[in-house]
A and B are shown apart, each in its own frame.
Chain A
Amino acid sequence: MCLAIPMVLVERDEFEGVAEIDGVRRRISVMYVPEAAVGDYVLVHAGFAIGQVDADEAARTLEVLREYADAMVEL
């Protein structure tokens, strides 16, 4: 549960934003990441961006998550 997913911020105003990963878009709150700009990677947890990561780190985290998801699907 304590896992945040890296997503690209594609729209934002002060409180609300839209983030995307693998073609999936979600409305999120960006109230905790005032410095995140459109195009940045944010860590999304329970509908809130809680931090920022660079593109390299996002790619690494996503890779681990995909393996994790694959392992779940294999069961």
Chain B
Amino acid sequence: MSGGPYSDPAAVAGLLAELRTAAARLEHRLTLMEVCGTHTHSVAGAGLRRLMPERVRLISGPGCPVCVTPVAYLDRALALAALPDTVVCTFGDLMRVPSSTASLERARAEGARVEVVYSPRDALELARRSPELRVVFLAVGFETTVPAVAGVLDEAERTGVENFMLLPGNKTMPQVMRVLVDDPELEVDGFLLPGHVSVITGWKLFEFLPRDFGVGGVVAGFGPTDVAQGVLELVRQALDGRAEIGNVYGRVVTADGNRLARELVDHYFEPADEIWRGFGVVPGSGLGLRSRWAHRDAAQIEVELPLPSEPVGCRCGEVLRGVIDPPECPLFDSGCDPESPIGACMVSSEGTCAAWWRHERWAAGAVR
């Protein structure tokens, strides 16, 4: 560990001391949720959950895009990959997630055409080079990723690459956060808000939290000190009886985000009802292609699909909703681990189960 200003143990310790002093004045226990896979890892890696004062409970929500991608989406991706003259392109972290039948990785080993790409630009390039093929990009990811998808669509339109399509599966955070904040099982008192989502959306996107629900949120960066600062700010809001959107990532995040990116996304996509693992259909939480771009929509291609089925015993859905911690799942570290993952939350390095397995299972007494 090198220990710069954002991960410096002394700086973290100082913030935690401040946090303990502040939290001692809280009248009841605060439940704070982070909704960003990178926060999940930062919290786990620095052991922040255990270092929180007794009156601050830090939980993880649906911040891992691969984890919330429903099994039906993967079933469709696999069915597309089995079609003649069709190549499915995906970000690497989707490869090992189980569908109802097999993972993309397994399907590829068995002959399906699946390519891992770093950027949707690589998928577009493949389409350009191979006009005889139909190239389908699996559009998974939150607001940070959607501009990249809109950008390649725009390039495909501008340069006339006809054989490039998407399987729409992108998701947006506000609607699912409404579900979370309304969940009586959870009683979330505040949110740690994702930094790089906010680079695109701006922090104003989250103003509905205090306005409609009286719940505050703080945009934070990714180092342990950033997270600790965000938590401290949320505790201060509670002590002052305030609920507002704060921003301790002001160096990077603005009120309005990246307007050009938001406009291009809006040009190609419109809100759509979307299934999230663990939540079911969340109205308006997805991004569907506008009808004008239907020729780019691989969901319109007719394929035969199996009945969606999740791995038996897996409680990934409840982990994503924040209602259980991973060790409460009977499979956790008992058949399901990063080497041989059963559920999506253990597959992705951003998943809550993977983060707990790596950093917290000892402390949680979860090792059997």
Chain A positions near chain B (C-beta within 8 angstroms): 1-4, 15, 27, 29, 31-34, 43, 45-48, 50-51, 53-54, 56-57, 59-61, 63-68, 70-72, 75
Contacts and interface: CB of A to CB of B under 8 A. Distances in A.
Interface stretch (B15-23, B95-103, B113-121): B113-121
Contact of A51 (B4, B42, B252): B252
B148 A47 contact: yes
* Interface band, chain B: 35 or more
A1 B196 CA distance: 10
Nearest to A47: B119
A46 B196 contact: no
Contacts of A51: 199-200, 252, 258
Nearest to A62: B4
Contacts of B141: 1-2, 46
Given A32-B260, A34-B260, A64-B223, A4 B144 contact: yes
Nearest to B64: A1
A34 B338 CA distance: 41
Contacts of B4: 59-60, 63-64
Contacts of A67: 1-2, 7, 45
Given A31-B260, A64-B6, A67-B2, A45 B196 contact: yes
B148 A63 contact: no
A44 to B, nearest CB: 9
Contacts of B199: 4, 43, 50-51
B122 A2 contact: no
A47 to B, nearest CB: 3
Interface string B146-160: 011001001100000
B151 A61 contact: no
A13 to B, nearest CB: 14
Given A3-B38, A3-B196, A68-B41, A45 B222 contact: no
Given A31-B260, A32-B151, A50-B261, A2 B2 contact: no
